[in-house]
């Protein structure tokens, strides 16, 4: 995406509500562990989409991060183990307007000009992609919130950690297993040609083929696609038992709206984002358009009563609803959990050097349990502690609800297949 001008105004949050100054150590320097040399603040820098196609996901994620910051600053700041004291947090957040090109300029500015201690990526793989190479080139650890594309994680790059969701190639494993268990043999797949969606499509295709099933429709389309009439007609001609549309929120919304207006009906329809932005989809698509469709279930729908860092599920939902009621969704949770990962790094690192922060996260990997489940990363910094169950959107009185239907170990509802009316 391209824009005509670059927004340089920054949103900054401090414990006193003042604008954030460019402070803290540079990405390549290490800090002494003596209290006298402790910085006056820990500066977190990020890009976010205040407008454009990704705003509905990016803003809640930013609000979740801000919630964590406000809770820590209320205690006097985040605890930094290298200095054995709490240090106030400051935020520098630039609006990239959903443009990867603009985000790249801003990531570079955060590192080279603002010299932030902590660099946090914007939402999703498209807006995280430019941060990966920039952070690596400057030896700055990138706290990746939700950019799950496979190419981001390589053996030679220690400067990235995926805070929340697993690599996108892992996401659809339970989905493929579910379709195989239902003896679904005619599967139609349409996906966005970006790292996030393409990796999911490839995984589903591979797992189906391993079970002797070849998709009857398999087509990649531009991420900017919002018209699905012709695609739906082509899909219908293959008479599929299941239709998977793998896209971002704007794609999913447009697809479900087009499906509803087309009069077509399939035994199974799956889209990615209703499980992350459920209330938004209820508004944009309506309960009738969502009924009996499938999506991923995130940890937002799991009730964690026992955690060893941060708030439990009930506490988190109550606090988020009070401070950011419009962000009570999966993305709000991911932003808050990013903060908890940053907190774990600062608490356990021997200095504020970027590799010390990364080594601290290797140390806590597998032992950090939060409202987003178990934080566990591999040697490349990819999250491997989570799998996303399959959920179905089911009638609930005059509205709808999300029920986990697969695997059985996680299920709290019974799948309805084929969908009524198919």
What tens digit of pLDDT does each residue of 239-290 get? 999 999 999 999 999 999 999 999 999 999 999 999 999 999 999 999 999 9
276-335 pLDDT, tens digit per residue, is 999 999 999 999 999 999 999 999 988 899 999 999 999 999 999 999 999 999 999 999
* Chain position carrying tokens 């209703």: 274
Residues 209 and 322 in one domain: no
- Is 411 within the bounds of a domain? no
Q: Is the pLDDT of residue 194 over 70?
A: yes
Q: Average pLDDT in the 348-375 region?
A: 97
Cβ-in-10-Å burial (0-12, 13-18, 19+) of 9 comes to exposed
The whole-number pLDDT of residue 422 equals 58
Residues 155 and 47 in one domain: yes
Domain count for the chain, please give it.
2
The whole-number pLDDT of residue 99 equals 98
Query: Angle 313-323/330-348 helices, nearest 10 degrees?
Result: 110
- Is 418 within the bounds of a domain? no
Question: How far, in Å, CA of 355 to CA of 178, rounded?
Answer: 40
- Is 143 within the bounds of a domain? yes
Residues 76 and 40 in one domain: yes
- Is 105 within the bounds of a domain? yes
pLDDT band of 2, cuts 50, 70, 90: very low
Helix (H) or strand (E) holding 244: strand 242-246
For residue 64, give every residue at least 6 positions away whose Cβ sits within 8 Å of its Cβ, in sequence order, or none.
320, 324, 327, 331, 332, 333, 334, 335, 336, 337, 338, 339
The whole-number pLDDT of residue 36 equals 58
The whole-number pLDDT of residue 177 equals 97
Question: How far, in Å, CA of 247 to CA of 257, rounded?
Answer: 14
34-46 pLDDT, tens digit per residue, is 445 899 999 999 9
Residues 123 and 259 in one domain: no
Q: Which domain holds residue 262?
A: 173-297+389-406
Low-confidence winner among 21-35, 86-100, 177-191, 300-314 (lowest mean pLDDT):
21-35
- Is 416 within the bounds of a domain? no
The whole-number pLDDT of residue 328 equals 96
Residues 260 and 318 in one domain: no
Question: How far, in Å, CA of 131 to CA of 125, rounded?
Answer: 10
The whole-number pLDDT of residue 198 equals 95
Residues 111 and 131 in one domain: yes
Residues 160 and 53 in one domain: yes
- Is 1 within the bounds of a domain? no
Q: Are 40 and 21 in contact (CB under 8 A)?
A: no
Q: Is the pLDDT of residue 14 over 50?
A: no
Strands 10-13 and 89-95: antiparallel
DSSP 377: B
- Is 336 within the bounds of a domain? yes
Residues 84 and 212 in one domain: no
Q: Is the pLDDT of residue 6 over 80?
A: no
Share of the chain above pLDDT 70, in %: 91
Residues 117 and 223 in one domain: no
For residue 149, give every residue at least 6 positions away whose Cβ sits within 8 Å of its Cβ, in sequence order, or none.
125, 128, 129, 167, 168, 194, 195, 196, 199
CATH of the domain at 196: 3.40.50.2300
Residues 154 and 187 in one domain: no
- Is 239 within the bounds of a domain? yes
Residues 318 and 395 in one domain: no
Residues 98 and 181 in one domain: no
Classify the C-alpha dihedral 330-336-340-342 as positive or negative.
positive
Question: How far, in Å, CA of 291 to CA of 338, rounded?
Answer: 32
């Amino acid at each position: 995406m391209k824009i005509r001008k670059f927004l340089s105004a920054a949103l900054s949050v401090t414990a006193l509500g003042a604008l954030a100054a460019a402070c803290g150590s540079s990405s390549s320097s290490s800090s002494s562990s003596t209290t006298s040399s402790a910085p006056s603040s820990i500066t977190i820098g990020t890009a976010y989409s205040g407008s454009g196609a990704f705003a509905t996901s990016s803003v809640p994620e930013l609000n979740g991060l801000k919630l964590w910051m406000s809770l820590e600053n209320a205690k006097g700041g985040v605890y930094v183990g290298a200095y054995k004291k709490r240090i106030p947090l400051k935020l520098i957040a630039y609006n990239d307007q959903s443009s990867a090109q603009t985000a790249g300029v801003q990531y570079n500015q955060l590192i080279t000009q603002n010299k932030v201690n902590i660099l946090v990526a914007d939402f999703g793989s498209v807006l995280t992609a430019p941060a990966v190479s920039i952070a690596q080139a400057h030896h700055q650890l990138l706290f990746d919130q939700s950019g799950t594309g496979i190419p981001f994680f390589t053996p030679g790059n220690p400067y990235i950690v995926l805070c929340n969701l697993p690599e996108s190639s892992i996401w659809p494993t339970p989905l493929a297993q579910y379709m195989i268990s239902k003896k679904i043999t005619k599967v139609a797949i349409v996906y966005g040609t970006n790292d996030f969606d393409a990796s999911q499509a490839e995984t589903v295709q591979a797992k189906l083929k391993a079970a002797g099933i070849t998709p009857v429709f398999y087509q990649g389309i531009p991420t900017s696609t919002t018209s699905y009439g012709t695609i739906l007609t082509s899909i219908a001609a293959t008479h599929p038992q299941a239709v998977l549309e793998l896209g971002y929120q704007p794609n999913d919304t447009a697809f479900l709206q087009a499906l509803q207006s087309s009069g077509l009906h399939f035994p199974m329809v799956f889209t990615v984002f209703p499980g992350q932005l459920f209330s938004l989809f209820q508004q944009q698509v309506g309960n009738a358009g969502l009924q009996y469709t499938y999506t991923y279930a995130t940890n937002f729908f799991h009730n964690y009563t026992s955690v060893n860092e941060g708030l439990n599920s009930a506490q988190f939902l109550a606090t988020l609803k009070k401070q950011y009621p419009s962000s009570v969704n999966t993305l709000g949770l991911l932003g808050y959990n990013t903060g908890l990962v940053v907190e774990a790094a600062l608490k356990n690192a021997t200095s504020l050097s970027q590799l010390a922060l990364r080594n601290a996260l290797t140390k806590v990997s597998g032992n950090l349990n939060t409202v987003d489940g178990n934080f566990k990363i591999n040697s490349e910094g990819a999250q491997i502690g989570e799998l996303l169950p399959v959920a179905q959107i089911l009638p609930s009185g005059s509205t709808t609800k999300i029920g986990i239907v697969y695997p059985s170990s996680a299920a709290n509802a019974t799948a309805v297949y084929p969908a009524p009316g198919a």
